[in-house]
Amino acid sequence: MRPKTNYTLSGDFNIAYQVIGNGPVDIIYIPGWVSNIDMMWAEPRLAAFLTRLTLFARLILFDKRGTGLSDRTDAYSTMEERMDDIKAVMDATQSKKAFLFSHSEGGSVSLLFSLHYPERSLGVIGFGIFAKRRYSDDYPWAPTDEEREVSNRLIEENWAHGDLDELRTLVPSLAHDQGFMDWLASYLRAGASPKAALILHKQCTHIDVTGILGDIEVPTLLLFRKGDIEIRVEEGRYIADRMPHARLVEFDGRDHLFWTGDTYPILAEIAEFVTGERPERSDLQEKASQPPKSGADLETVMVENFLYNLKVEEFARLCGRSLSAFKRDFQGTFGTTPSRWIKAKRLEYAKGLLLETGLNINQICYDSGFINTSHFVKSFKEQYGLPPHQYRAKHLQS
């Protein structure tokens, strides 16, 4: 379930954050290139992964300055400013010490933070992170300047419509799932404007924490998939070899996204690192999906959760009912089937977004709980007589 979004100030910047769970220790997630903490919850795999972290920790999410729901900026943000954002969110959530769970580009600032603020760092967990992003003879896995320029041009030319073929290399296991790829492109657009995405991409070239690795004293868990071509496993080995308290775990698979593919080994390593105990696969699956007590108010649960891409069986569990009891009670409450009611509610929500926001059609599609743009457009036209863009134009003119 999507948690409440809050804001705190880091200097003059409003930083958006969320808090989920009430576990005995804190994990603060340091995202990669761009993020949007609201849209994270629209992708079932990512939402499930984050929810499972709350089985053993309190989870803190935030969008760094220049991305997502936080204030945007036209200038490079320094690593010092990035660390200030982390401190501001920790202060706002009354987190005295936390594990820093970082992904990709978020790894460098996590390592720096743990060096400069060891008193606030329980440890670093890095999935597919890197030490630098510019080629050199002693670090040959980073892109060359020529390769970086090609990527910069692709962002400039293709960001608006999301036709970025290289996104498929981030997640080979879902490369042919067009619904997921559409969500991923929409998520990135929601995380940054074309200009902001380009600024952040160019900024990566200046990241280099190779010189401080040997000075970091906090325990560090490095997680890498051996077939990842975005951030090579050799980069994990490079970091681990130079850090006195680091442990590297290599997994089979090619996905650069930690929440796709087989996520149990990743979650189990994180849980063991944080708690000292390794959960069984069934523990992570069953506990995360335990239903509330029987008799949960069906109408309240549905109104609060209809935007989430859940199966009817999962809505039944949320309501604390068997599938047959859920369908019976649903008919008695709403006078229709769950599928028809959910579709109508999502279309009604999408209509509001069309008239009250400047979001594009793709983003409205995913924000409204649909996972396929063409299906959304067809359903909207059937419900309201016009496709979404024509409906918006007609009603905004009147």
- Tens of pLDDT, residue by residue over 210-233, are 999 999 999 999 999 999 999 999
**Percent of residues, the chain, with pLDDT higher than 70:** 93
Q: Is the pLDDT of residue 393 over 60?
A: yes
Both 359 and 326 in a single domain? no
pLDDT at 312: 85
pLDDT at 294: 42
Residue 134 lies in a domain: yes
Q: Is the pLDDT of residue 160 over 70?
A: no
Q: Report the chain's mean pLDDT, rounded to a whole number.
A: 88
Both 273 and 239 in a single domain? yes
pLDDT band, residue 288 (cuts 50/70/90): low
Q: Is residue 342 packed enough to be buried (19+ CB in 10 Å), middle (13-18) or exposed (0-12)?
A: buried
- Number of other residues whose CB lies within 10 A of the CB of residue 351: 19
Q: Is the pLDDT of residue 319 over 80?
A: no
Both 179 and 303 in a single domain? no
- Tens of pLDDT, residue by residue over 71-117, are 987 777 889 999 999 999 999 999 999 999 999 999 999 999 999 99
Q: Is residue 75 packed enough to be buried (19+ CB in 10 Å), middle (13-18) or exposed (0-12)?
A: exposed
Residue 122 lies in a domain: yes
Average pLDDT over residues 154-165: 65
Token look-up 């009354």 returns: 94
Q: What is the CATH number of the domain that holds 204?
A: 3.40.50.1820
Both 252 and 310 in a single domain? no
Average pLDDT over residues 372-378: 89
pLDDT at 295: 47
Token look-up 């996972």 returns: 371
Q: Is the pLDDT of residue 286 over 70?
A: no
Both 250 and 325 in a single domain? no
Query: How many independent structural domains does the chain possess?
Result: 3
pLDDT band, residue 159 (cuts 50/70/90): low
Residue 345 lies in a domain: yes
Q: Is the pLDDT of residue 293 over 50?
A: no
- The last residue of a domain, from among 285, 304, 324: 285
pLDDT at 167: 78
pLDDT at 165: 66
Average pLDDT over residues 391-398: 84
Which residues neighbour 333 within 8 Å (Cβ) at sequence distance 6 or greater? 298, 299
Residue 317 lies in a domain: yes
Q: What is the CATH number of the domain that holds 380?
A: 1.10.10.60
pTM of the model: 0.73
Q: Is residue 30 packed enough to be buried (19+ CB in 10 Å), middle (13-18) or exposed (0-12)?
A: buried
Both 344 and 312 in a single domain? no
pLDDT at 270: 97
Rg over CA atoms, the chain:
22
Contact 128, 258 (CB under 8 A): yes
Average pLDDT over residues 272-295: 71
Both 352 and 248 in a single domain? no
Both 326 and 349 in a single domain? no
Both 149 and 296 in a single domain? no
Alpha carbon distances (Å) from 278 to 48, 205, 223, 282 = 19, 37, 16, 12
Alpha carbon distances (Å) from 22 to 41, 95, 110 = 18, 12, 23
pLDDT at 161: 54
- Tens of pLDDT, residue by residue over 191-213, are 888 888 888 888 888 889 999 99
Both 242 and 347 in a single domain? no
Kindly give the residue spans of alpha helices, DSSP state H, lying in 1-71. Answer: 44-53
pLDDT at 89: 98
Both 51 and 184 in a single domain? yes
What string of DSSP letters covers 231-297? S-HHHHHHHHHH-TTEEEEEES---SSTTSS--HHHHHHHHHHHHS-PPPHHHHHHHHT----TT--
- Tens of pLDDT, residue by residue over 44-82, are 889 889 999 999 999 999 999 988 899 987 777 889 999
Is the dihedral angle over the CA atoms 366, 368, 370, 373 positive or is it negative? Answer: negative
Print the domain residue range for 343.
Answer: 339-397
Residue 68 lies in a domain: yes
| Better-predicted residue by pLDDT, 118 or 309 | 118
pLDDT at 180: 85
Strand 6-10 versus strand 26-30 pairing type: unpaired
Contact 4, 18 (CB under 8 A): yes
pLDDT at 287: 56
The whole-angstrom separation of Cα 79 and Cα 107 is 12
Helix (H, G, I), strand (E, B) or coil at 355: helix
Residue 1 lies in a domain: no
The whole-angstrom separation of Cα 44 and Cα 288 is 13
Token look-up 């999962």 returns: 314
Both 88 and 114 in a single domain? yes
- The two tokens of residue 329 are 């009670």
Average pLDDT over residues 124-149: 94
